[in-house]
Structure 1
Amino acid sequence: MQRQRDFQRLLRQGRRYRGRFLTLVFLSGSPSQPLRAAPIVSRKVGGAVVRNCLKRRFREILRLAPWREGTAGDLAVIAHRQAAQARFTDLEQELTLGLRHAGLLVGGE
């Protein structure tokens, strides 16, 4: 996802899951389109090194997730300030819980 209007539509119309370290926003889309995911880390979280590290962590967690067949839509992972001090396993657990809550993973609702 790269267009500003796509982000605005996602944030305005998407379903939210708020956790301790992140907020997950999902908007389902056409099954013919692939899932588009975007990690969002603002400057409030930390400097460039911290922000880039968090984005890499989120991308890796999303890459390894057991996605449900036919998952399509837009997904934003918005980091909270506490995410900068969180361990990888804590971020993974919370993001996986949010994805299951949204019904995007195998074994979800």
Structure 2
Amino acid sequence: MEKKYRLAKNEQFKRIYRNGQSMANHQFVVYSKPSKGTEHFRVGVVVSKKIGNAVVRNRMRRVMKEILRHHKHDIISNVDIIVLARKATLNMNYKQLESSMKHVLRKAGLISKKQR
């Protein structure tokens, strides 16, 4: 994921957790908040220690970022997003993860109308 699409600062994460909306399915939780200062979306990926050790968490983070990178043209602009992985993601392959993430993003209203 390119740098301009990333959330990096702790204050940004706190603002979205506190003031944003959330949507979930069994595999992912998505927090989102409209953003005025950007012309595209920004995303932060969170994988808790409940998921596994560092190797497992980093692999999950890489897979999630790759899914978002492939679908970056489908996601609406001017929004900050946090995607949190749940434990159910451990036993899923790439296609299942991709389908589940698209489902929760669509459910949260973050996929542009033309892609629905």
Q: TM-score over 0.5 for the alignment?
A: yes
Structure 2: distance between partners of 1:42 and 1:31: 29
Aligned to 2:96: 90
Question: Quick one: distance in 2 between partners of 1:32 and 1:78?
Answer: 22
Runs of 4+, deviation exceeding 4 Å:
none
Q: Bigger shift: 70-79 or 45-54?
A: 70-79
Aligned residue type for 2:74: W
Q: TM-score, normalised by structure 2?
A: 0.82
TM-score (norm 1): 0.87
Letter of the aligned partner of 1:101 in structure 2?
K
Post-superposition CA distance 1:35-92 (Å, at most 9, x none): 1111100111101111011111111110111425x61221111011111222211111
- Give the length in aligned residue pairs: 108
Contact 2:32-2:79 at 8 Å conserved across structures:
yes
C-alpha separation between the residues in 2 aligned to 1:21 and 1:72? 25
Q: Percent identity between the aligned chains?
A: 27
Question: 1:30-109, aligned counterparts within 5 Å?
Answer: 30=36, 32-65=38-71, 66-68=73-75, 71-107=77-113
Contact 2:41 2:81 in 1 (8 A): yes
Please give the secondary structure, in 1, of the residue aligned with 2:30: strand
SS at match of 2:14: helix
Question: CA 1:27 to 1:47, structure 2 compared with 1: closer, same or farther past 3 Å?
Answer: same
Does the CA-based 8 Å contact 1:22-1:80 persist in structure 2?
yes
